[in-house]
Structure 1
Amino acid sequence: MKIYQPREELRHYVRYYWVLKGDEPFSILTFPIGCPQIIFHKKTPLYIPELDTYQSQFTISGQVIFPAQIQSGGRLEIIVAVF
């Protein structure tokens, strides 16, 4: 995972961006961070077993209040803006 800082003009609105790429399947437990996020999946979206659903290619994530196991079958390229 790589984290990027926003341009100076956007820092009042965007905390940071992160990008994750990979071709290997994985499963990891995530925890709420208390920040809304906009998530772009350029390849295969993530599966969330607790919700029994895949994220859509474009997802707006509000303030999540529960930990979630996320799974990727590989072919992952995700770009996230954190507010």
Structure 2
Amino acid sequence: MKQGIAGYEEVVSLDLSNNGIRELGADTFISMWRLMMLVLSDNLLTRITRGTFHGLHTLSTLHLDGNDLGTLDAYAFVGLGSLTTL
């Protein structure tokens, strides 16, 4: 995903598992400020970069299992103060 997801500000749960997603750009979810659960399981992600989860201050659950993650930016999860499950 190279562009942010717009027009879904009210979404609180999003399941994008098994979608063949290879890349998430910075600010992909920036307009989804109410999001509490994000499922990205079983995709083709190999890295998580800085800014990917920017703006997700209410995110409490993030599923990344089933990906071949090799690189996690040191600041990938900065700002996710509500995150309790990873």
Alignment TM class, shorter chain as reference: under 0.3
| Normalised TM-score (structure 1) | 0.27
User: Structure 1 or 2: larger helix share?
Assistant: 1
| Normalised TM-score (structure 2) | 0.27
Greater CA radius of gyration, 1 or 2?
A: 1
Higher RCO, 1 vs 2 (CA within 8 Å, ≥6 residues apart):
1
